[in-house]
């Protein structure tokens, strides 16, 4: 389901982003659901890298226009 023009629906791109999140330990979503919304979720892991919880940082643009993006959907 597409919510904004930045919503990722390509399964290959979704898989790639999931793998990147696994490797880096966090992910990000810029306006994929709501224009002006940015979220960064991350797992909290123990010494053996087992998940123990999670955190989510979120911000909402209150004023101004959305920043320009490249054709890949990244902020410029």
34-56, pLDDT tens digit by residue?
888 889 999 999 999 899 999 99
| Number of neighbours of residue 28 by Cβ within 10 angstroms | 16
Higher pLDDT, 48 or 74: 48
Report angle CA 42, 47, 52 to the nearest 5 degrees. 45
**Strands 37-45 and 51-60, how do they pair?**
antiparallel
pTM: 0.61
Q: Which one, of 35, 44, 49, 45, lies nearest residue 5 by Cα? A: 35
Residue 29: its pLDDT value, please? 86
């Amino acid at each position: 389901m597409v919510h904004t023009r930045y919503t990722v629906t390509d399964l290959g791109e979704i898989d790639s982003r999931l793998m990147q999140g696994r490797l880096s330990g966090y992910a990000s979503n810029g306006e994929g659901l709501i224009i002006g919304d940015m979220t960064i979720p991350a797992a909290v892991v123990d010494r053996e890298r087992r998940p123990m919880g999670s955190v989510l940082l979120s911000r909402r643009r209150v004023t101004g226009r959305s920043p320009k993006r490249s054709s890949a959907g990244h902020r410029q």
